[in-house]
Structure 1
Amino acid sequence: MSQFTIYHNPRCSKSRQTLQLLQDNGVEPRVIEYLKTPPSAADVLSIAASLEQPVSAILRTKEDEYKQLNLASFTGDDAALAALVAEYPKLLERPIVVRHSDQAARIGRPPELVLELL
């Protein structure tokens, strides 16, 4: 089993660049295409914890779903927000790489940030 997981969208150039950067550095991560296989609310909470961020900090604020759900004025807790991300996975920032040994994670924006995990 790989020591890394990437939450990946193959249609996103930053996600593709991040995956390639990992592979160029000898890492074959477990690839989760999160739009096809959405993370559970528990997974979203775990990802946020690995990033040491609240769930609100790992949302794509320019997505239509963000605006339609009026998340800019969301007042619920992280668990409620994680449940929404599980239901609307497009909201999750991408790509996110998690290192399993210590559950550290980085968002690949720019892709080079994930090199801190290697």
Structure 2
Amino acid sequence: MIQVLHNPRCGKSRNCLAFLDNSQKEYEIINYLTQPLIAVEIETLLKKLNLNPIDIVRQKEAIWIEHYKGKSLSDQEIITAIVQHPILLERPIVIDGDRAIIGRELDKLSDFI
């Protein structure tokens, strides 16, 4: 079953869910703000996305700007930052088995599902 890492306050995330509703695909919503991912889950997610940790960080978030921007961080330090501040995780992320995509662009999401 498809899983969606979702932030209910995010318009792109809500649009993703509406798109999935229209596609009639079954999916599970994971509110990553109330059910934060642990480091190993983020590492697994990165493999499915085929991305580096910095690629899934919302670099315009105030927490990132205040605490991390301009610093030379290792991949593990970036993952730790996401674990400590789940709001930094890009959203929505759609997971289907061993592959995943950041579902902000509906045309790419359409190709994915």
Same fold (TM over 0.5): yes
Matched with 2:87 is 90
Matched with 1:106 is 101
Could you tell me how far apart the structure 2 residues matched to 1:79 and 1:49 are? 14
Q: CA deviation at 1:53?
A: 0.5
Selected match of 1:30 from 28, 32, 41 = 28
Could you tell me how far apart the structure 2 residues matched to 1:12 and 1:25 are? 20
Q: Is the 8 A contact 1:18 1:112 kept in 2?
A: no
Structure 1 stretch displaced more, 16-25 or 78-87: 78-87
- Aligned residue for 2:59, secondary structure, equals coil
Could you tell me how far apart the structure 1 residues matched to 2:52 and 2:18 are? 28
Gaps of 5+ in 2: none
Matched with 1:74 is 72
Amino acid corresponding to residue 30 of structure 1 in structure 2 = E
Gaps of 5+ in 1: none
Q: Is the 8 A contact 1:14 1:111 kept in 2?
A: no
Give 4+ residue runs of structure 1 displaced > 6 Å after superposition: none
Output the aligned Cα RMSD.
Answer: 1.3
Amino acid corresponding to residue 25 of structure 1 in structure 2 = S
TM-score scaled to structure 1, two decimals?
Answer: 0.88
Q: Percent identity?
A: 30
Matched with 1:5 is 3
